Amino acid sequence: MKTYRKLEAMFAKHGFDDFKLIEPGKIVIAQWVRMKCAFGCSSYGRNACCPPNVPSVPECREFFGEYRAAAIFHFEKKAKKPEERRPWAARINGSLLKLEREVFLSGYPKAFLLFMDSCHLCGDCALVRAECKQAKSARPAPEALAVDVFSTARQCGYPIEVLPDYSRAMNRYAFLLIE
């Protein structure tokens, strides 16, 4: 894979130093992820960037197939309370959006970010994509686009486990599709 030294420096400038540049073929797309969204996730139909407000799984697979370079970003946090997760994710996703913009302006028109958690840019989500309150900034989480984050993170050499409670650190991942 070709090197992206300028982008790596850009990532570091934005405060992101735990990442890997990967071939998008390492991103595993799976139908079971969508099934989990539809049955068992409280965000289904409750977030304008989550299913059913997203493309079908075959469309997601086609989308990822159009890229030849991507980056995976790792974030770890041990939350004392579940309520800490949303503001933490919103802050990081806001910073990632600025990075996506800079990558885009530096000559990568296909740059596209997948948030490290469901879009929580607004306190009160519009629920429907067409009514999104921050349509230019909202991005889906990897899971919303049927990414099997468990298999993908492990393929990239990163840790991830099912956590039974909040006593252990979370490992969350964002992706930037580059070109």
What is the binding site for ligand SF4 (CB under 6 A)? 47-49, 119-122, 125-126, 132-134, 138
- Tell me whether residue 92 or residue 132 sits nearer to ligand SF4 (CB atom): 132
Tokens at 22, concatenated: 């990967």
The Cα–Cα gap between 136 and 127 comes to 15
- Tell me whether residue 19 or residue 172 sits nearer to ligand SF4 (CB atom): 172
In sequence order, the β-bridge partners of residue 174 are 73
Q: How far is the CB of 138 from ligand SF4 (least distance, A)?
A: 4
Q: How far is the CB of 48 from ligand SF4 (least distance, A)?
A: 4
DSSP string, 115-128: -SSS--SSSS--SS
CB 83 within 8 A of CB 166: no
Q: How far is the CB of 158 from ligand SF4 (least distance, A)?
A: 26
Q: How far is the CB of 3 from ligand SF4 (least distance, A)?
A: 34
Ramachandran sector of residue 56 (left: φ over 0; alpha: ψ -120 to 50; beta: rest) = beta
- Tell me whether residue 10 or residue 126 sits nearer to ligand SF4 (CB atom): 126
Tokens at 112, concatenated: 């596209």
- Tell me whether residue 79 or residue 126 sits nearer to ligand SF4 (CB atom): 126
Q: How far is the CB of 127 from ligand SF4 (least distance, A)?
A: 7
Residue pointed to by tokens 């919103």 = 90
Closest CA to 38 of 29, 50, 55: 50
- Tell me whether residue 22 or residue 174 sits nearer to ligand SF4 (CB atom): 174
Question: Residue 142's Cα: distance from chain center in Å?
Answer: 4
